[in-house]
Structure 1
């Protein structure tokens, strides 16, 4: 094999493997539109598997953005307590019927548009909730699992209804993921 072909083959092996993605239709008082996310199967395979399984089952459909902090992030994915029309007082405290996941920390930085897994203080407690960064958040690097990045629709993310106070709880009618579809 020539040196050029060998170098090209190595470059393909070293390049990140992009898994399936998500297409999220968001609707509400603030955001209305579609967000496309590439999922990083090579960086967080267990988390990507869990997210795509939940999305394929329709578990994320109708789930609200319960915690949205200006200049920081928008959090969603509580399939247990975060469904539109439910009692929103518990939104953000639940997960799914699937087991929590062990951390898959990486050297990827939390930059604008990066999608990370939400968790409790236990690093191995991520389940179904995730967040999308409005801005860079290097203080999260190596502390939370990066699962993907928004490739289209950051304008929609930027329009998600903001929460109030330090914890960013959304008051009144939150924006929701109307439909979440796994893409190839």
Structure 2
């Protein structure tokens, strides 16, 4: 059954029909340590339903962290390493409606999307490493606001440690160095990437919403808690994107392709 015959709204309704304050907890198993996320099922239902579909379909398994900017974001959910460059984009579903209810403060997980299209998020997600709500990042207002749909409740230290890894064109690469990054004849192995090995539902029955301390996004004027329905963007098959992902990410990947091939 796909989303064309069974709406994401219906999926969301089933997800939290058992409790009025239901909040799914999912666990990420990675090559650099695990972390858990408590999802905002009720307040960002479309986004959570979209995210859980990727999890249940196994789409996030064996993907890689393809972008990390220290003191900004760690981004994944869009690509896998299959032995060569460029990284291989995963298949994506239709774009999901924007739900900018919460603020992009440190330790939150949010959806990435295409620049200048607030309703274009598909598979890619990011963790805020700092308070990115305002200032230069302004993720609470930029591009209609980025949808925060959960909070890291365990393992944020493992995510912070990823920021200490060597970065090759914004890609965190363990046991790698500048000479290898610039050597066009050197091909990395899977051990040289931060791999999201599995993402599983850790707790789908316990009422966990009351323990969250989400910060509301009050920066949007007027609030866009009920944004219009959007059709699938023409480039959604490439994976959702970062804040300016089409230019930033693929420039990095093309550079890596030249270096490693």
In 2, Cα distance between equivalents of 1:54 and 1:105: 20
Give deviations 1:118-148, integer Å, cap 9, x for gaps. Answer: 0011111100100011111011114111110
Match of residue 159 from structure 2? 157
> Which has more radius of gyration?
2
**Deviation (angstroms), 1:101:** 0.9
Name the one with the larger strand percent.
1
| Aligned-pair CA distance for 1:18 | 4.2
Tell me if the contact between 1:63 and 1:76 (Cα under 8 Å) persists in the aligned partners: yes
Contact map agreement 2:38 2:152 (CA 8 A) in 1: yes
2:97 to 97, 102, 125: 102
- 1:85 corresponds to 2:52: no
After TM superposition, the structure 1 = structure 2 runs for residues 21-170 of structure 1, keeping only pairs within 5 Å, are 21-27=25-31, 31=32, 33-78=33-78, 82-90=79-87, 94=89, 96-106=91-101, 108-121=102-115, 122-138=117-133, 139-142=138-141, 143-160=145-162, 161=165, 163-164=167-168, 168-170=170-172
TM-score, normalised to structure 1's length? 0.77
Q: CA RMSD in A?
A: 2.0
Q: With the length of structure 2 as denominator, give the TM-score of the two structures.
A: 0.56
Q: Residue 23 of structure 2: which of 19, 26, 32 is its match?
A: 19
Q: How far apart in 1 are the matches of 2:24 and 2:91?
A: 21
Q: Is the 8 A contact 2:29 2:35 kept in 1?
A: yes
Contact 1:70–1:162 (CA under 8 A) maintained in structure 2? no
Deviation at 1:22, TM superposition (A): 1.2
Deviations 1:137-184 (CA, angstroms, capped at 9, x unpaired): 01111411111010000011111245355xx24465220111110121
Query: What is residue 180 of structure 1 aligned with on the other side?
Result: 199
Q: What stretches of structure 1 of length at least 5 have no aligned partner?
A: 1-15
8 Å CA contact 1:37–1:148 kept in 2: the answer is: yes
Three-state SS of the structure 2 residue aligned to 1:52 is: helix
